[in-house]
Amino acid sequence: MGTRTRGFANNISSPGGVFDATDLNGVVPATNVANSSLTNVTEVSPSLGYAVSSVSSDPPAPGTGQMWYNTTSNVLKFNAVVATGAWASGGNLGTARYSPGGAGTQTAGLAFGGSQQSPRIYYAVTEEYDGTSWTSGGTMGTGRNTISGCGTQTVALGAGGAGVTPGTPAVAQSLVEEYNGTSWTAGGSLPSARYSNAMAGTQTSAVLFGGFGPPILATTFEYDGSSWTSSGSLATARSGLRGAGTQTSALGFGGYAPPGGVRALTEEYDGTSWTAGGSLGTARGALGGAGTQTSALGFGGYTPSVTTATEAYNGTSWTADTSMGTARSYIGSAGTQTSALGAGGYLPGTTAATEEFTGGGPVTRTVTGS
The string of DSSP letters for 229-253 reads EEEPPPSS--BS-EEEEETTEEEEE
Q: Which of 118, 129, 126 is nearest to 95 (CA)?
A: 126
Q: What are phi and psi of 22, to 5 degrees?
A: -90, -5
* SS3 call for 190: coil
Q: Which residues fall within 8 angstroms of residue 167, CB to CB, at 6 or more apart?
A: 119, 120
Q: Are strands 53-55 and 67-70 parallel, antiparallel or unpaired?
A: parallel
Task: Provide the residue-wise pLDDT of the chain in tens; the chain has 370 residues.
Answer: 454 444 545 554 445 555 554 555 555 565 555 554 545 555 655 555 556 888 888 786 676 667 888 898 887 877 655 557 999 999 999 999 999 999 999 999 999 999 998 888 899 999 999 999 999 999 999 999 999 999 999 999 999 999 876 666 779 999 999 999 999 999 999 999 999 999 999 999 999 999 999 999 999 999 999 999 999 999 999 999 999 999 999 999 999 998 889 999 999 999 999 999 999 999 999 999 999 999 999 999 999 999 999 999 999 999 999 999 999 999 999 999 999 999 999 999 999 999 999 986 555 667 765 4
Q: What are phi and psi of 282, to 5 degrees?
A: -120, 110
Q: Which of 101, 97, 105 is nearest to 129 (CA)?
A: 105
- pTM (two decimals): 0.77
Q: Which of 172, 170, 237 is nearest to 159 (CA)?
A: 172
* SS3 call for 111: strand
Residues in the chain: 370
Question: Is the bond preceding residue 60 a cis peptide, omega within 30 degrees?
Answer: no
Any idea where the domains of the chain sit in the sequence? 21-81, 85-361
Sign of CA dihedral 140, 199, 348, 85: negative
- Check if CATH label 2.120.10.80 holds for domain 85-361: yes
